[in-house]
Structure 1
Amino acid sequence: MSGLSKPRNISPKRLHMAAVGFTTVALLAGTAACGGNESGTSQPTRTITKTPPTVTATASEPSAPSASAPTGPASQTQYLSDLDPLKSTQGVDTSTVEINGEGFARAVTMIVSAAGPVNSVEYNLGRHWDRFSATVGLRDDSPTGGKLTFEVSVDGKQEFSEAIPLGKSKKIGLDVSDALRMKLTVTYSGQDSAGNGYFGSWGNARLHS
């Protein structure tokens, strides 16, 4: 047929030489891929070990706990002006007062006169309190020249008694631990025939536990 070349006849010797050449090229390529080691043995593997940096930890000594005093039960305070008395001879007033120029927002005041010279008031303590404290004296608006005796009795036993004139005051603190009853008494012993009232006040009278 025109336009088509005839296939060439290749001798067996040339086919053998081409096969040998191809095999040689393949072996050389394999050797190069293995790192160029002509002996055919593999290269030994190198292991690189990275040593981590040394970290030095400094242990701080634990701080010693601060020593503190043991705390007991919380203390309590009870003002007499907030309590209802068990009984009273002539009643009490719980208004703000001034005694010897000092103001007291909480007070118990008992009025006395020549016609009613004694006034007392009694409270139930219920054996719950340890101390009683107050500032005692005549209220500053009492008549000039007045003088009253203030007394405190605990379960029938007199624990305080003192005569105090107008313009003077006395701070007291008494032990009332395990007491059931406390009585406050104000007494007028003057001779005021005009019937003026004198005000015996217990400023900030309170119980403590």
Structure 2
Amino acid sequence: MSIPRRRRPSHPAIVGAVIAAVATVVAAAIPVVLELTRDPGGSGAASPVQGTPSAGQPQPTTPAATTGTGPSPTPAATASQPAQADVLPLVEVPQVDDLEGWEQEPLIVAGKRHDSVLSASPCWLNDHFTVTFVVSRQFRVLEAAVGIADDSPGGGALRFTVLSDRKEVFTTTAGLGKVRPVKVDISAATQVSLRVSTTNLDQCHGDSIGAWIAPRVRR
């Protein structure tokens, strides 16, 4: 013979919570129902709920949320730097005396036109012009060619000298119609100087022009 179970009465706190929840839902639903059933124009159609754009109106755009998974922009400071040139014209290196007394213009030397030329016209015996560049031990070799401009008067050879930190490290002479190559180790130099000097007084008449042809430095 089975014994019938007695129904346990509901706890008052649980009953109160359920009633409160139902009242909250009903209270929230009433404004929505009223808004949907309101028809200001008398057409019987429900008006759009406030805050929701109707058809034909521009839709506001919302910026996409940043998830942090996309690639981050590269800072300017970390952008790749252009590679340094292995060979650089000497005139693009910082100068000490701003080429005072020197010219940069095309010249014909030994019958050939040269567009990149540093030239000077010394006078008097043992007179000279010197130009200095700051290389800061960034280069291994100085290369060039030397000669006298073809429109110079006869009068013997001019002397061409390379100085490393004011010490002579190379010297040669060249006369009209001759071109001499120059290649000097400057790896230990902080400054490099080019010099053109006279060898006799006859070179003063008519301004013999000593030419450093395409002087350049190599890393």
- TM-score normalised according to structure 2 size: 0.56
Equivalent in 95, 100, 105 of residue 115 of structure 2: 105
Q: Deviations over 1:2-49 (max 9, x none)?
A: xxxxxxxxxxxxxxxxxxxxxxxxxxxxxxxxxxxxxxxxxxxxxxxx
Q: How is 1:58-207 mapped onto 2 (pairs within 5 angstroms)? A: 75-83=85-93, 85-87=95-97, 91-114=101-124, 117-192=127-202, 195-207=205-217
Q: For the residues of structure 1 that align with 2:99 and 2:106, how far apart are their CA atoms?
A: 21
Residues 163 and 175 of structure 1: CA distance in aligned 2, closer, same or farther (over 3 Å): same
Secondary structure of the residue that 1:192 maps to in structure 2? helix
Residues 107 and 81 of structure 1: CA distance in aligned 2, closer, same or farther (over 3 Å): farther
Residues 123 and 193 of structure 1: CA distance in aligned 2, closer, same or farther (over 3 Å): closer
Residues 101 and 180 of structure 1: CA distance in aligned 2, closer, same or farther (over 3 Å): same
Residues 100 and 194 of structure 1: CA distance in aligned 2, closer, same or farther (over 3 Å): closer
Q: 4+ residue runs of structure 1 moved beyond 4 angstroms?
A: none
Q: For the residues of structure 1 that align with 2:126 and 2:181, how far apart are their CA atoms?
A: 26
Structure 1 residue 101 displacement after superposition: 1.7
Structure 1 residue 103 displacement after superposition: 2.2
Residues 140 and 180 of structure 1: CA distance in aligned 2, closer, same or farther (over 3 Å): same
Structure 1 residue 102 displacement after superposition: 2.4
Q: For the residues of structure 1 that align with 2:116 and 2:144, how far apart are their CA atoms?
A: 10
Structure 1 residue 152 displacement after superposition: 0.5
Larger Rg: 1
Q: How many residues align?
A: 137
Gap runs ≥5 in structure 1: 1-72
Q: How is 1:40-59 mapped onto 2 (pairs within 5 angstroms)? A: none
User: Conserved in 2, the CA contact under 8 Å of 1:80 and 1:108?
Assistant: no
Structure 1 residue 162 displacement after superposition: 1.4
Bigger helix share: 2
Equivalent AA in structure 1 for residue 97 of structure 2? K
User: Percent identity over the alignment?
Assistant: 23
Q: Deviations over 1:133-186 (max 9, x none)?
A: 001011111112342011101123221111211111101111111310111111
Structure 1 residue 201 displacement after superposition: 0.6
User: Conserved in 1, the CA contact under 8 Å of 2:125 and 2:198?
Assistant: no
Q: For the residues of structure 2 that align with 1:83 and 1:94, how far apart are their CA atoms?
A: 15
Residues 116 and 75 of structure 1: CA distance in aligned 2, closer, same or farther (over 3 Å): same
Q: For the residues of structure 2 that align with 1:74 and 1:192, how far apart are their CA atoms?
A: 45
Q: How is 1:9-24 mapped onto 2 (pairs within 5 angstroms)? A: none
Equivalent AA in structure 2 for residue 125 of structure 1? V
Structure 1 residue 100 displacement after superposition: 1.1
Equivalent AA in structure 2 for residue 182 of structure 1? V
Q: For the residues of structure 2 that align with 1:193 and 1:96, how far apart are their CA atoms?
A: 21
Residues 84 and 197 of structure 1: CA distance in aligned 2, closer, same or farther (over 3 Å): farther
Bigger strand share: 1
